[in-house]
């Protein structure tokens, strides 16, 4: 069976047919097709992500992005990594607008795509979009983290939202040798595109194959995503302890370092707040696990940086220890790490499935 001609599939399946009338691009101001059709058309035509739903569809919320249409180049990257054939049976988790499902349906000339969406309103709109465009995937309303056993087994499974934990239902429903592709991250850092291959024993294992940043599966969102970090998660930022560190915060925030730190401290969340005006190059990095918090202040030209902390854990010391552990391993890139999924859960690794990643505060020297 020949490979899919994705150039033809994308040409035959335009994104604009699946984008709602109101979207959000680079700022909080909505772009309304009825009020400004030129701005809407320009936004849809660009290679950028578009937020298509706020606050899980609730009215009058805090403008928390809850669904989006990914940038076309990223959609293409993921479909290339999925490595489908026209006769494959594919489960898509996270229907969204329906565009990705339509691309799959166009490609699977002798196969089938089933797409599952947890949000009934999004699923209904996607189904209307697909019917209008004469695409024919089977749309299901349900929790995609449980897969869709009625349609199993699948040759491929693709998720269009990020997870912190790969549910074992996914490898259970994919054939041995089949591929599972999902965005993956930790509370600390969300940037992994994980490609798993299902083994004959029912486990699945594979490396990270790229950088993506997707919205979380709703039941696996970070604990503090919808809360104000300083003032709510950290209700009183008055420190118990103040010290200085010689560790420059900037390399700690480098992408591959942050990813590796997140593997070791997956329960720690962070936010970074930059200064303004003359202080625009300064920033404060805040960390919290819900009980403890820490902040470190970066000032250009300084050789020591102030650390404020409170709670039972020394979070910045743990960050420094995780960073040092990553450096001691040779600063492996994100793509040198991977995940193995078994009935007992998931395990992250580095430099092959036998490589060890120590998790938790116990790794502090």
Give tens-digit pLDDT for 57-72. Answer: 888 656 788 999 999 9
Angle at alpha carbon of residue 288, lines to 234 and 300, rounded to 5°: 95
Q: What's the CA gap between 108 and 90, in Å, rounded?
A: 9
Q: How confident is the model at residue 358 (pLDDT cuts 50, 70, 90)?
A: confident
Task: List all residues 6 or more positions away from 137 whose beta carbon is below 8 Å from its beta carbon.
Answer: 92, 98, 101, 102, 104, 105, 112, 113, 114, 115, 130
How many Å apart are CA 53 and CA 209, to the nearest integer? 28
Same domain, 150 and 16: yes
Split into its structural domains, the chain has a count of: 2
DSSP string over 216-231:
BPGGG--TTTTS-TBT
Domain assignment of residue 190, yes or no: no
Q: Within this chain, do residues 271 and 151 fall inside the same structural domain, yes or no? A: no
Single out the residue in 114, 143, 160 at which a domain terminates: 160
**What is the phi/psi pair of residue 172, to 5°?**
-60, -30
Here the CATH number for the domain that contains residue 291 is: 3.30.160
Active site residue 70: yes
Classify burial at 169, counting beta carbons within 10 Å of its beta carbon; exposed 0-12, middle 13-18, buried 19 or more. middle
Query: What is the model's pTM?
Result: 0.95
The model's pLDDT over 165-202, given as tens digits with 9 standing for 90+, comes to: 999 999 999 999 999 999 999 999 999 999 999 999 99
Same domain flag for 15 and 130: yes
Helices within 241-314 (DSSP H only)? 249-252, 255-264
The answer as to whether 231 is a domain residue is no
Which region, left, alpha or beta, applies to residue 114 given φ > 0 means left and ψ of -120 to 50 means alpha?
beta
If asked whether residues 136 and 37 sit together in one domain, one would say yes
Domain assignment present for 176: no
Full residue range of the structural domain in which residue 256 is found: 241-328
Contacts of 341 (CB under 8 A, 6+ apart): 166, 168, 170, 171, 196, 203, 204, 205
Q: What is the pLDDT of residue 365?
A: 44
Do 153 and 14 fall into the same domain?
A: yes
In a domain, 299, yes or no: yes
| 142 plus 22 within the same structural domain | yes
pLDDT digits (tens, 9 = 90+) for 201-224: 999 999 999 999 999 999 999 999
Sheet strands (E) in 4-64: 22-24, 30-32, 50-54
Average pLDDT over residues 96-121: 96
| Domain limit, last residue, from 160, 192, 223 | 160
Q: Are residues 156 and 254 in the same domain?
A: no
Tell me if 140 sits within 8 A of 154, measured CB to CB: no
Q: For position 161, what pLDDT does the model report?
A: 97
CA distance 351 to 359: 16
The single residue of 70, 205, 288, 295 carrying the catalytic annotation is: 70
Distance CA 198, CA 177 (A): 5
> Does residue 350 have a pLDDT over 80?
yes
Q: What is the pLDDT of residue 361?
A: 66
* Residue 1 pLDDT: 64
At residue 63, the pLDDT reads 72
Q: Residue 224: inside a domain, yes or no? A: no
Whether residues 249 and 145 share a domain: the answer is no
The answer to whether residue 134 is domain-embedded is yes
Residue 61 is predicted with a pLDDT of 58
- Per-residue pLDDT for 363 more than 60? no
Instruction: Read off the pLDDT of each residue in 280-289 and give the average, rounded to a whole number.
Output: 96
Check whether residue 127 and residue 254 sit in a common domain.
no
Roughly what angle, to the nearest 10 degrees, separates helices 99-107 and 120-132? 50
Rounded to whole angstroms, how far apart are CA atoms 108 and 79? 12
SS3 338: strand
Q: pLDDT averaged over the chain?
A: 94
Residue where a domain stops, chosen among 160, 188, 219: 160
Model pLDDT, residue 356 = 83
Give tens-digit pLDDT for 226-248.
899 999 999 999 999 999 999 99
Asked if residue 115 is part of any domain, the answer here is yes
Which strand (E) or helix (H) includes residue 284? strand 283-288
pLDDT higher than threshold 60 for residue 280: yes
Above 90 in pLDDT, residue 262?
yes
271 and 133 in a common domain: no
Largest CA distance in the chain: 65
Query: Given the DSSP bridges, would you call strands 138-141 and 112-117 parallel, antiparallel or unpaired?
Result: parallel
Helix orientation angle between 72-82 and 99-107, rounded to the nearest 10 degrees: 40
Same domain, 105 and 10: yes
Q: How would residue 362 be classed by pLDDT, with cut points 50, 70 and 90?
A: very low
The CATH number of the domain where 123 resides is what?
Answer: 3.40.50.150
User: Is 118 within 8 Å of 144 (Cβ atoms)?
Assistant: yes
So what's the pLDDT on residue 62? Answer: 61
Q: Are residues 15 and 128 in the same domain?
A: yes
Report yes or no: 172 and 147 within 8 Å, Cβ to Cβ. Answer: yes
Can you give the pLDDT at residue 335?
98
77-114 b/e (C-beta count within 10 Å ≥ 16 → b): bbbeebebbeebbbbbbbbbbbbbbbbbbbbbeebbbb
pLDDT for residue 279 is more than 90: no
Helix (H) or strand (E) holding 138: strand 138-141
Residue 364: inside a domain, yes or no? no
């Amino acid at each position: 069976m020949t490979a899919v001609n994705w150039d033809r599939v994308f040409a035959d399946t335009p994104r604009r047919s699946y984008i709602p009338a109101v979207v959000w691009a680079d700022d909080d101001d909505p772009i309304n097709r009825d009020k400004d059709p030129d701005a809407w058309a320009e936004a849809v035509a660009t290679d950028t992500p578009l937020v298509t739903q706020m606050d899980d569809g609730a009215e009058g919320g805090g403008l928390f992005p809850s669904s989006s249409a990914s940038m076309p180049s990223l959609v293409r990257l993921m479909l290339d990594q999925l490595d489908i054939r026209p006769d494959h049976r594919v489960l898509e988790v996270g229907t969204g607008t329906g565009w990705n499902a339509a691309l799959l349906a166009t490609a699977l000339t002798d196969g089938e795509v089933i797409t599952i969406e947890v949000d009934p309103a999004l699923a209904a709109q996607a189904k209307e979009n697909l019917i209008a465009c004469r695409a024919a995937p089977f749309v299901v309303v349900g929790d995609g983290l449980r897969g869709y056993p009625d349609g199993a087994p699948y040759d491929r499974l693709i998720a269009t939202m990020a997870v912190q934990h790969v549910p074992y239902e996914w490898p259970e429903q994919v054939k041995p040798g089949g591929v599972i592709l999902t965005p993956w991250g930790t509370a600390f850092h969300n940037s992994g595109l994980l490609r798993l291959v299902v083994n004959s024993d029912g486990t699945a294992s594979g490396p990270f194959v790229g950088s993506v940043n997707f919205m979380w599966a709703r039941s696996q969102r970070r604990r503090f995503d919808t809360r104000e970090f300083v003032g709510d998660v950290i209700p009183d930022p008055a420190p118990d302890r103040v010290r200085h560190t010689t560790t420059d915060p900037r390399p700690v925030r480098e992408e591959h370092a942050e990813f590796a730190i997140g593997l070791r401290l997956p329960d720690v969340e962070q936010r970074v707040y930059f200064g303004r005006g003359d202080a625009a190059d300064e920033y404060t990095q805040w960390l919290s696990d819900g009980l403890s918090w820490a902040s470190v202040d970066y000032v250009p030209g300084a050789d020591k940086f102030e650390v404020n902390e409170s709670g039972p854990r020394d979070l910045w010391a743990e960050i420094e220890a995780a960073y040092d552990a990553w450096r001691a391993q040779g600063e492996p890139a994100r793509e040198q790490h991977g995940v193995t999924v078994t009935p007992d859960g998931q395990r992250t690794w580095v430099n092959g499935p036998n490589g060890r990643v120590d998790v938790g505060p116990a790794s502090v020297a």
